[in-house]
Structure 1
């Protein structure tokens, strides 16, 4: 229940800000992390667009202003107003209405032209119709490549009433007021500690329980496949929030599972992470079913997760529990990847969880953020904590040399890639090389699986990409495209390409050869020594990719007839480091050196034991040079270890 004094303070603050402007408040609701104020005079909102910011600053809470349904104009009239105000070159393709939340969803080619300079058109539409515009960018791609985003939007619209009910029930929990005095903060490692894969961290306070990521182990089996969510303190119905840092299966692969067993709270992620994790989870279900495995959840739970996902922008401070505020910062790892900053209590403790991060600019993304309001504890990934990586330029040159060499001998280059992130990095390199004739002009590049749809999502969020890529997209260019880059449409086409005599480059998921099209290509191409297998991603322990990288050459695989066959790897195997979306040892140390403020506690995770131990020892040895506090503590916990980082029960 809310504390009456807190509710009274919220209402009085809102009234004091809005009453003089004759905004005509009809009601105030708690909707998820936001306080929703319903008004009957939208013209005032249009004339004073910063009203919500002023209230948010006073209350230190997120505010959304909605119009009362009674004053909204009809859909037909609203469409006419929009078409009169928005210039034709904005390229509006579709207009839909969310009657529950009072939003008009507009799909258009040029988002800025729809909103207008200084959001002038947005304000006019709001004033004249009572509907708030929500504009979604439509990139210049095949409509089939947008099917996931379209399905997500359509499904959320069809379930608007449920979503509003969920937002209000979760709002009651978030804004209920602190009951217990803040006494402790405990961090429990559920997965991804002294290992790579199945990332999951439980953060507990006297008042709340927050889960950071919930992934699977790409190289695991049996008991090691999933995080240790069987611990006593993790009861799905008692969790306050799930925070997802980015859309890779070792961080999001098991999130829908909790909805199967009673979780009904919010999932916080950036918009791209929401879209991408749905693609990956559905792919995972498909691969497991085709491999005769029993999936841990179904599409029903994925759909439930969609309705419970609350997207956040970088830098947006959000209440996610009575005593916890969350802020996302750019992690530089993949599109939409985020570092999670948790502000706990009234200054009790602050945690930064890096998730996977890259502290270096790439063709695709800017480097990770290093400045935070406060930090006492840092949970930092350590994937490459014991080694460096070659410069990106050297890796690109090596890749092009391998491709040219293989093409010249009539072979095919198979590049297993993570569909999210690595595929787009490689596509940028190949498209640029084809345009500049750095590859033989006859070189064909085929992309398979979910890569095409994931790439379309990148084109939907240009504001989150590097300046050069963003500028090209906003000019209606597709930096991932060239006439020689061809999409695989079906399994028959896949077999024809593999069996043809023409040289080619093939990009296919999964990046660690743990299912998906890349495994099918490997089976068909492995025996020909003219071909090449190029690894551009980290190969986790236990995966097929890691086994091949470690020298295994006789592989048992399922053939076309469904029976096991022994496949001999005769093709050239080439690992190319330097494309990783993870920070290497030098970049991790540079991140610590530039981080402000400095943490008192550093917890290392997401690395194999040698990488974590090596990085921990280096940090201890160089702590003064890195500017860390003299009493800094470095922790290297294992799965199921717990640490009290503030107070104790």
Structure 2
């Protein structure tokens, strides 16, 4: 075997479960991501499945970002005896315990003693590394490896990983780059992605390698139009949203809309009252009904130094894009049920952002049961709906004529509420962005391995990369990860 070498333990054949091992020599390696297979990739009981690869010689786990399809197997990794450093960006170091605590409680055990023991171990192993600085991971007589984390624009703290591998007497070093998940441009909170300066080997995601995203500039106008409909119809705008990333983008853009419409007004002396009951018609309540999303949003607020210039400018103007006065956070289940009943029984317009994003569980289901049958209300989808999920069924009813029903928790409900899909919120780069990442620097990638995508997406991206390399008259080898 020629080193450095690559092996995959997930994310090579499908779109989730990313886990890649970079072998530096026969006895030394590092692991990049340790994700859980989800959706169509998942096998039953995957969160309980033991680690299927040998941990001997793995010096560190490097995390690109904290979505579960990149970190969800960390509990299994620790259970298998891994005690090396878990290296990630500084924002990811804050977010990772929040995400894994929630996943552990829901998927493995809610026992407080067991959960606390797990979190203590996890936090002890996390090593936060600043962006754009080289950090030594392996320093041995026969090989050394340093990594550098660069912003990936996918969600706060997301990074792509540059690995610089050096062998005595061999020049230059080998540069291996793992893209993780790359973000689409124009994210309202995050700084844009810059291509790596060079890559002898690039392990590249290909989620949307076969398509181009629609123009993202129109999404705020369409969101504003939906808010106008909620006001006019005296109904609730229901947005099923994922807790990490998508929810924070929505809050940021809703705050901007309300700010421009002069609906944001602090009511001096009434801050301690219940905002849901005290606000008048001109002060549309925005209800965040997801405990995990609330904790993550609070963490985002504390990490504002990692926001982009425009977002930080709003803070300097005295605005609070993720914590504005009309934002109502619902924590307890009792308060949740009270809000559902209140909105169902009154003509009070509101915006509700609730988990989970595909309507397969979580608090959004109670809102749907209460409101799907009423045409005053509207359900807006801003994320992908996997085939077979309730979200996919509801989304498919958009524009349908006639009688449409859906099964929620074993009961059938009529779908009379308006349904729409708001595009432009994809967290992944499209084909153009992926090609630009691989080929956009002065020294384009020499070899690309495509992972984290369906077969059609990988093949289309491989063709696009080959076209780009011919246009630049450079040598490029593209393979599809297996």
TM (norm. structure 2) is 0.83
Could you tell me which residue of structure 2 aligns to residue 20 of structure 1? none
Distance, in Å, in 2 between the alignment partners of 1:193 and 1:543 is 24
Say if 1:219 and 1:575 are closer, same or farther in 2 by CA, change over 3 A: same
What is aligned with 1:22?
Answer: none
Match of residue 367 from structure 1: 192
Q: CA separation of 1:535/1:244 partners in 2, compared to 1, >3 Å: closer, same or farther? A: same
- Return closer, same or farther for 1:413/1:359 CA change in 2, 3 Å cut-off: closer
2:72 to 253, 276, 280: 253
Higher relative contact order (CA 8 A, sep 6+): 2
Relative to 1, partners in 2 of residues 1:614 and 1:545: Cα closer, same or farther, differing over 3 Å? farther
CA distance in 1, matches of 2:350, 2:473: 50
Match of residue 622 from structure 1? 468
1:482 aligns with 2:324: yes
Q: How far 1:242 sits from its partner (Å)?
A: 0.7
Aligned to 2:454: 608
Question: Matches of 2:48 and 2:389 in 1, distance apart?
Answer: 17
1:516 to 359, 362, 369: 362
User: What are the superposed Cα offsets for residues 321-365 of structure 1, whole Å, 9 maximum, x if unpaired?
Assistant: 233211100111111111111112234522111111125232211
1:400-444 superposed Cα distances (whole Å, 9 cap, x missing partner): 212322342232222122222111111111111111118883422
**1:308 alignment partner in structure 2:** 125
Is 2:234 the counterpart of 1:406? no
Deviation at 1:519, TM superposition (A): 3.4
Residue in structure 1 matched with residue 294 of structure 2 by the alignment: 452
CA distance in 1, matches of 2:358, 2:455: 20
Match of 1:634 in 2: 478
Distance in 1 of aligned mates of 2:463 and 2:45: 27
* RMSD across aligned positions (CA): 2.9
Compute the displacement of 1:533 (Å).
1.9
Partner-residue secondary structure (3-state), 1:240: strand
Distance 1:484 1:337 in 2: 29
CA–CA distance in structure 1, aligned partners of residues 121 and 338 of structure 2 = 39
Give the whole-Å Cα distance in 2 for the aligned partners of 1:442 and 1:384: 39
Distance across 1 between alignment mates of 2:205 and 2:372:
34
C-alpha displacement of 1:257: 2.1
Distance in 1 (CA, whole Å) between partners of 2:214 and 2:282 is 28
Matches for 1:203-602 after TM superposition, within 5 Å: 203-206=22-25, 207-220=27-40, 221-223=42-44, 225=46, 230-231=51-52, 234-236=53-55, 238-288=57-107, 298-322=115-139, 323-346=144-167, 347-372=172-197, 374-437=198-261, 441-449=282-290, 450-474=292-316, 477-499=319-341, 500=343, 501=346, 502-540=348-386, 543-546=389-392, 548-549=394-395, 555-558=406-409, 564-602=410-448
8 Å contact kept, 1:381–1:605: yes
Please tell me whether the aligned partners of residues 189 and 202 of structure 1 are also in contact (alpha carbons under 8 angstroms).
yes
Show CA shifts across 1:575-620 (max 9, x none).
2211222112222233334234211111222222222222222222
Instruction: Single out whichever of 187-196 and 379-388 deviates more from structure 2.
Output: 187-196
What SS is found at the alignment partner of 2:105? helix
Equivalent-residue separation in structure 2 for 1:183 and 1:620 (angstroms):
25
CA distance in 1, matches of 2:119, 2:137: 21
Change (3 A) 1:629 1:298: farther
Preserved contact between residue 359 and residue 588 of structure 1 (Cα < 8 Å): no
Deviation string, structure 1 residues 531-569 (Cα, Å, up to 9, x no partner) = 2221212334565434544569655443xxxxx434444
Q: 1:509 to 1:596 in 2, by over 3 A?
A: farther
CA distance in 1 between counterparts of 2:51 and 2:299 reads 35
CA shift digits 1:210-254 (9 cap, x unpaired): 2111122342553584699754xx323542111111121111122
Report the secondary structure of 2:37's partner residue: coil
8 Å CA contact retained: 2:208, 2:429: yes
- Determine the C-alpha separation between the residues in 1 that align with 2:456 and 2:231: 38
Conservation of the 8 A alpha-carbon contact between 2:184 and 2:427: no
* Structure 1, unaligned runs of 5 or more: 1-181, 559-563, 642-649
The answer to whether the 8 A contact 1:194-1:607 is kept is yes
Report if the CA contact (8 A) 2:148-2:161 is conserved.
yes
| Greater CA drift, 477-486 or 541-550 | 541-550
**Distance verdict in 2 for CA 1:386–1:568, change over 3 Å:** farther
Q: CA deviation at 1:183?
A: 4.3
Larger Rg: 1
Cα 1:491–1:451 shift into 2, 3 Å: same
Contact 2:406–2:412 (CA under 8 A) maintained in structure 1: yes
8 Å Cα contact 2:86/2:127 also seen in 1: yes
Distance 1:531 1:254 in 2: 39
Distance in 1 of aligned mates of 2:293 and 2:260: 23
Q: Distance in 2 between matches of 1:478 and 1:310?
A: 30
Report the 3-state secondary structure (helix = DSSP H, G, I; strand = E; otherwise coil) of the residue aligned with 2:39.
coil
User: TM-score, normalised on structure 1?
Assistant: 0.63
CA distance in 1, matches of 2:445, 2:193: 17
| Cα 1:248/1:568, change in 2 over 3 Å | farther
User: For the Cα contact (< 8 Å) 1:508–1:518, is it kept in 2?
Assistant: yes
For residues 596 and 513 of structure 1, the distance between their equivalents in structure 2, rounded to whole angstroms, comes to 45
SS of residue paired to 1:361: coil
Greater alpha carbon shift after TM alignment, 394-403 vs 326-335: 394-403
Tell me if the contact between 2:37 and 2:43 (Cα under 8 Å) persists in the aligned partners.
no
CA change 1:238–1:591 in 2 (3 A) is closer
